[in-house]
Structures are given as structure tokens and as C-alpha cells.
């Protein structure tokens, strides 16, 4: 068996995190990495102890579910909660970050974002990442890497 790359390893972690998502519209996972070490992970879902979309349905306002916290935000908040600095870290996320997550990523000091799938890629998010000198890179992911039955 051939070893997977670091990018594929961390992207696999994000896809595993997405399996914990409680969103019925889109399962997203995010992994924050510094020096080839995972420092935090998040998935989209409700606040701790709150009602979940999988149980009660989405709470949609203006086309957006307001019940969930996005995976990127959950990962950044986890770092804040436990006092783990994000300055200079990298983020691996299953889908291109929304505009709000883009701004949080920039403000948290994350220097690179690797995403597996395009998803409503907002041109202003790309512009903000470029202005902030945050590297963004599409890293296609083969979900078969997650198979435990590899030859």
C-alpha cells in the first residue's frame, strides 16, 4: 500500500469530521493544522445541547439555515476555547468556505485554506483571501482513501 500525501491525510480527517455533521443540507468538515499536526477539527451542526436539524429540521431564514454553526467556525472556536493559537496555521475543509467563514479564517491568522469541493464560491471571498495573502488551493479528494478495504 502506498502512503497518502499530507494533503490527502488532512483532507481525509475533514471528511471524517463531516460524518458527524447534523445538517441535512450539506455535511462539512474542517481540520486546522500547524506543523503537520492537527490542532482542531469541526463540523457543521447546532450549538452544544441545542436542537439538531437531523431531529427537528432546518431553521431557514433568507435561504440559510441559522440553526447550525459552520465547520470552519467550530474549528476556530475550539481553538479559542482551549487557548490554541491559530496564527500561521492551515485549514483543510471539505467545501470552499462561505463569505462569513472566509472572514473568520482571515481574522484568526490562518495562512492557507485547502478545500476539496467547490461550493457557491463567492468572488468576494476569493478577493478577501487574496488581499490577506491567505493561500487557497483546491485539493481534490478521492473518498475511496477512507475505505478500510484497500488492497
* Residues annotated as catalytic (active site), given as ranges: 72
Across 138-150, b (16+ Cβ under 10 Å) vs e yields: ebebeeeeeeeee
> Which of these, 63, 60, 64, 50, lies nearest to 22 by C-alpha position?
50
Three-state DSSP at 37 gives strand
Amino acid at each position: 500500500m502506498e502512503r497518502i500525501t499530507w494533503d490527502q491525510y488532512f483532507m481525509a480527517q475533514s471528511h471524517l469530521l463531516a460524518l458527524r455533521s447534523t445538517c441535512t443540507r450539506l455535511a462539512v468538515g474542517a481540520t486546522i493544522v500547524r506543523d503537520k499536526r492537527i490542532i482542531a477539527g469541526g463540523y457543521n451542526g447546532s450549538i452544544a445541547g441545542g436542537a439538531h436539524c437531523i431531529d427537528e429540521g432546518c431553521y431557514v431564514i433568507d435561504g440559510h439555515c441559522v440553526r447550525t454553526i459552520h465547520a470552519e467556525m467550530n474549528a476556530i472556536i475550539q481553538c479559542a476555547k482551549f487557548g490554541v493559537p491559530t496564527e500561521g496555521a492551515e485549514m483543510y475543509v471539505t467545501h470552499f468556505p462561505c463569505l462569513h467563514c472566509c472572514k473568520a479564517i482571515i481574522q484568526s491568522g490562518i495562512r492557507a485554506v485547502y478545500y476539496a469541493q467547490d461550493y457557491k464560491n463567492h468572488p468576494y471571498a476569493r478577493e478577501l483571501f487574496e488581499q490577506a495573502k491567505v493561500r487557497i488551493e483546491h485539493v481534490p479528494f478521492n473518498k475511496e482513501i477512507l475505505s478500510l478495504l484497500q488492497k
